[in-house]
Structure 1
Amino acid sequence: MTKIILPLLFIPIFCFGQDQNSPNKIVIESLIEHYNSGDYKSIFSMFSKEMKDALPMDKTSEFLTNINSEVGKIKDKEFIRNENERYASYKTKFEKAYLTINISLDKNKKINGLFIKPYVDEIFSKNAINNLSSKDDLISVVQKDLIFEKAKFFPDETQISIALIDNGKLSYYGLKRHNDSISTFNNYQSIFEIGSITKIFTSNLLARTVISNQINLKDDINDYLDLKFKDDRKISFKSLANHSSGLPRLPSNFDSEKLDTVNSVKVRHILIPYKGSFESSPDIVESKMAAKKTADSILSILDIKRDEFKTLVRLSADKKVSNEYGEIEFTYFDGFAPRFRDFSFENAVGSIDVVETVFGFHIIEILSKAENKKVVNIRNLDEDPYKYYDQKDLNNYIENLLHIEEDLKGNYLYSNLGFGILGYTLAKIYDLSYEQLFQEYIFLKYNMQSTTFKINMLNKVLVSGLDGQGNEVSNWNFSVLAPAGGILSNVEDLAKYVINQFDDSNEEFKLMRKKTIKVDNQFDIGLGWHIVNSSESKDKLYVHSGATGGYTSSMLVDLKNQIGVVILSNVSAFNPSQNNIELLSYDLIENLREKYPKP
């Protein structure tokens, strides 16, 4: 929902040239084992004296705990190379992202340097072909080059949709990467998840409620909810909208086990991998096109005679998950590839087709389905983490688990939980669902006809979200925390909202932009808006970004010059170059500012 900030560490003390055959191999394997088991003391014991001094046990535990909460456990690793003869570098697959782990050892084989950072696949940028067009005066040549330089790091099927607002002039520009060619693409009406930009609209509703004298910003939400807050903790509307309530980013029961009885499906499949497909054998030389042709030919045979499945299953590369007949029985929550899972659950018994996943091409036949077959933890759904956190869970948190960081109360501490509670409280005040509330007082008011919380209500094409490697992922369903990040929209609608920011008679917008707390010398916070104070002038930027499992977004507004930038994309929050979307929005608005005199 928001930009994922990985805690990065690099503390080199002594450095020696090493390779994969050195003790480094043993060390990385031990480190992974201890990390996955949560045994951070054992990792600390692997440090050199200098490393321990630089990163004491409490800091080591905090550092590794933060990484685990952001990207999960380590699933696999791949030795890449020695970096400048200083440390060994590993491409490391975590549950939610790929990171690079660099390690150096001292002469006693103790860790004296550790560097963890997002893994950037250089092949994307090296192979990118610039086919962007600057004709029709949609963008300038400079803007086109700015866009390409940031977009070239993203994988195939990436889409970026841009709206530029320049003192009354509105222009749209879109691109799509396909077969490494980055080309102009018309997608200004296409729908993306906007993530935490949703918080701006939740803050807008708050401002409306204040302006209409229904509440005061300093009022406590406790007085508007029929809930008994744990320890009678008081929380103001204002503190929720400027992230100063002391509430954590997410509630403590967000990942708690939640058991339920769920349906299961039984299928049989034949997997045809190709060279480069995930977990494919090194001896696979068949191209993707050839693998698809093979899968289609198998399907043609099975369409005529299903009994041939028993014979053809010998062609399957899957010898681990399915049994000897190619059969698998699973639930929605068992971690199967999204396309494999969705085909199996969304189609009728007897259906058969070719389905592509990261593993290759599957010929899947649905054999049977069973209701309420198995008890599972329905929170075990990393690809859609908010879906099963509901109103009952939130109420339980407020009444029994509520925790506020007293030493941080009054200071900036970003909280998705806080905005979820804010939206829930506003809905109670109006006696409407939050969807109805947004629709009536924002989307209709600003003619945002393609903006909604519900995928089934979309009237335009939804762009598929991608993970960090460019594979399609599921959309996020935010449930009770939707006011923090659940809106779907396009740049056409968001541009309308930005243009309305220039209406000096809009009291709601004025209230939202009023500084409420100071974060540092660069940032202030209004209601929802982050306010960037320019170091070179008195101009201010009002900004917000968003990121989910399959999308990244950014929105910037310059009131003085009446310019703005909106960028939506299907670049994952877990993409190592994800920050390029926000950087591009700043590059573009600075480019637009160049023709305006500085004060």
Structure 2
Amino acid sequence: MKNSFLFLTPILFLFLSCGNSQTSKTVNNQTVSKGSITQAQSELIFDHTKVFPNNTQLAFAFIENGRVKFYGVEKRNDTIFTIKNRQNAFEIGSITKVFNATLLADFVLENKVQLDNPINPYYDFEFNNGQVITFKTLANHTSGLPRMPSNLDFDIGNQDPFSAYDAEKLKYYLANEMDLSFDEHGEYEYSNLGAGLLGYTLSKIGEKPLNQLFQERIFSKYNMPNSTIGSENVSVFLVQGQSPEGQPVQNWNLASLSGAGDMISTAEDLSEFVMAQFKDENKTLALTRAKTHTMNDTSGIGLGWHIRKGPSGENWIWHNGGTGGYTSCMVMNKDKKNGVIVLSNVSALGDPMIHIDQLCFELMDSL
């Protein structure tokens, strides 16, 4: 993977292999017991996890036919061990965008906003050159906004590269530097800036900090007590994020762009959110999954969620995420009530992070 404003890799590099001259020395000491994962699944986990540095931890949720089971591994002393970590917290990076879109869908169903409404009226200044942006185009990455704002210096050497990007810098960008690459009927162009701007706007509409809106409207509703925004708010064990070399790194604070990737969660909490997707009566979640833009014959996007055709032609709904110390992936098949969640403290700044996406989708295919 090439480092270009990172923090989510929107395209799955399923055929990319990452070499590691030391992986042959890693020992597989996983426990596979009755009622847990299959031997084939444990071998997939080992094959992908052995490339990671020591002290790497992965937490899994397997959802099959509406039933959940959890599994976890940790690499210590070049050995892969089975551990219990369903309630351990990880940064989930850009999976936050799904929750951002869920909040938007809530507001739409309450007639607070409409998807095709512009966000401009919620600001007391004119956007640069009178450009207009709608809620839907922010949620499905068709606004024409770039991946990152031009007045943010994303330095991968900075362990917390977003923390100084406050509301004043965001407003300055909107008023003076914003330049859309196309109009509201444009093509897909993944934008962390767009998602961050959506979250910031929703916070203005809700008249509360984004974390409070998430807590009141999402976390409490979907039984996610150990999810939050901000490492200082975590109430359970927070797994230490790592650099690509396996050194401890600082947790990220996305400041005014919080809605793009600031959430911290657990495999247990996220499994509750996926299980809620299987309930047909939930109109909010159904709205987020409805396709709003087609990218090609096999891929599209709803609100926040990406959509791709699975091996048998069914829709797989998914998102992944990454920060300086963590990488995650979540995929589900609503019709079969299947899903896989993978959380890790594998840095998204190194090539081995691609193994998290590969592993997530291969495990999904194994269900």
TM class by smaller structure:
over 0.9
Secondary structure at the aligned position of 2:339 is classed as strand
Q: Give the aligned length.
A: 358
For residues 301-340 of structure 1, what are the structure 2 equivalents within 5 Å?
A: none
Instruction: Please state if 1:470 is matched with 2:208.
Output: no
Equivalent in the alignment of 1:333: none
CA distance in 2, matches of 1:167, 1:121: 36
Instruction: Please state if 1:574 is matched with 2:349.
Output: yes
Say whether the 8 Å CA contact 2:133–2:184 is kept in structure 1.
no
CA distance in 2, matches of 1:505, 1:432: 28
Say whether the 8 Å CA contact 1:197–1:546 is kept in structure 2.
yes
Instruction: Please state if 1:526 is matched with 2:321.
Output: no
Taking a change above 3 Å as real, the CA distance of residues 397 and 70 of structure 1, as seen in their structure-2 partners, is closer
| Equivalent AA in structure 2 for residue 425 of structure 1 | T
Deviations along 1:104-162, whole A, 9 cap, x unmatched? xxxxxxxxxxxxx9974321x11110001111421111111111111111110000000
Secondary structure at the aligned position of 2:124 is classed as coil
Say whether the 8 Å CA contact 2:60–2:267 is kept in structure 1.
yes
Say whether the 8 Å CA contact 1:199–1:485 is kept in structure 2.
yes
For residues 404-419 of structure 1, what are the structure 2 equivalents within 5 Å?
A: 404-406=180-182, 410-419=186-195
Shift of 1:380: 9.4
Secondary structure at the aligned position of 2:358 is classed as helix
Instruction: Please state if 1:564 is matched with 2:351.
Output: no
Equivalent in the alignment of 2:212: 436
Equivalent in the alignment of 2:122: 224
| Equivalent AA in structure 2 for residue 121 of structure 1 | N
Deviations along 1:486-514, whole A, 9 cap, x unmatched? 00111010000000000100111111111
Say whether the 8 Å CA contact 1:246–1:409 is kept in structure 2.
no
Equivalent in the alignment of 1:42: none
Larger fraction in strand: 1
Point out where structure 2 has 5 or more consecutive residues left out of the alignment. Answer: 7-15
Taking a change above 3 Å as real, the CA distance of residues 174 and 380 of structure 1, as seen in their structure-2 partners, is closer
Say whether the 8 Å CA contact 1:160–1:569 is kept in structure 2.
yes
Equivalent in the alignment of 1:233: 131
| Equivalent AA in structure 2 for residue 382 of structure 1 | N
CA distance in 2, matches of 1:235, 1:190: 38
Equivalent in the alignment of 2:87: 189
Shift of 1:526: 0.4
CA distance in 2, matches of 1:427, 1:214: 12
Equivalent in the alignment of 2:112: 214
Instruction: Please state if 1:589 is matched with 2:355.
Output: no
1:133 pairs with 22, 28, 31, which one?
31
Secondary structure at the aligned position of 1:474 is classed as coil
Secondary structure at the aligned position of 1:254 is classed as coil
Instruction: Please state if 1:122 is matched with 2:21.
Output: yes
Shift of 1:236: 0.6
CA distance in 2, matches of 1:509, 1:493: 16
Say whether the 8 Å CA contact 2:5–2:148 is kept in structure 1.
no
| TM-score of the aligned structures, taking structure 1 as reference length | 0.58
RMSD value over aligned CA atoms?
Answer: 1.8
Equivalent in the alignment of 2:97: 199
For residues 361-376 of structure 1, what are the structure 2 equivalents within 5 Å?
A: none
Taking a change above 3 Å as real, the CA distance of residues 118 and 228 of structure 1, as seen in their structure-2 partners, is farther
2:140 pairs with 237, 242, 265, which one?
242
Which aligned segments of 4 or more residues in structure 1 are displaced greater than 6 angstroms?
none
Secondary structure at the aligned position of 1:135 is classed as coil
CA distance in 2, matches of 1:389, 1:182: 39
CA distance in 1, matches of 2:76, 2:156: 33
Considering Cα pairs closer than 8 Å and 6+ residues apart, tell me whether 1 or 2 has the greater RCO.
2
Say whether the 8 Å CA contact 1:221–1:236 is kept in structure 2.
yes
CA distance in 2, matches of 1:197, 1:190: 17
Equivalent in the alignment of 2:10: none
CA distance in 1, matches of 2:230, 2:151: 25
Deviations along 1:310-359, whole A, 9 cap, x unmatched? xxxxxxxxxxxxxxxxxxxxxxxxxxxxxxxxxxxxxxxxxxxxxxxxxx
Secondary structure at the aligned position of 2:268 is classed as helix
Instruction: Please state if 1:391 is matched with 2:167.
Output: yes
Equivalent in the alignment of 1:321: none
Secondary structure at the aligned position of 2:351 is classed as coil
Taking a change above 3 Å as real, the CA distance of residues 203 and 132 of structure 1, as seen in their structure-2 partners, is same
| Equivalent AA in structure 2 for residue 513 of structure 1 | R
CA distance in 1, matches of 2:5, 2:212: 33
Equivalent in the alignment of 1:483: 259
| TM-score of the aligned structures, taking structure 2 as reference length | 0.94
CA distance in 1, matches of 2:139, 2:151: 22
CA distance in 2, matches of 1:587, 1:458: 31
Shift of 1:520: 1.6
CA distance in 2, matches of 1:119, 1:519: 27
CA distance in 2, matches of 1:248, 1:557: 28
Say whether the 8 Å CA contact 2:143–2:182 is kept in structure 1.
no
Secondary structure at the aligned position of 1:426 is classed as helix
Deviations along 1:207-238, whole A, 9 cap, x unmatched? 11111111110000002222321111000100
| Equivalent AA in structure 2 for residue 399 of structure 1 | A
Secondary structure at the aligned position of 2:352 is classed as coil
1:545 pairs with 320, 327, 339, which one?
320
Deviations along 1:428-476, whole A, 9 cap, x unmatched? 1111111111111001111110001121221111101111111111111
1:511 pairs with 259, 265, 287, which one?
287
| Equivalent AA in structure 2 for residue 240 of structure 1 | L
CA distance in 2, matches of 1:389, 1:518: 32
Secondary structure at the aligned position of 1:561 is classed as coil
CA distance in 2, matches of 1:228, 1:438: 28
Point out where structure 1 has 5 or more consecutive residues left out of the alignment. Answer: 7-66, 72-116, 257-378, 593-599
CA distance in 2, matches of 1:542, 1:392: 35
Say whether the 8 Å CA contact 2:143–2:183 is kept in structure 1.
no
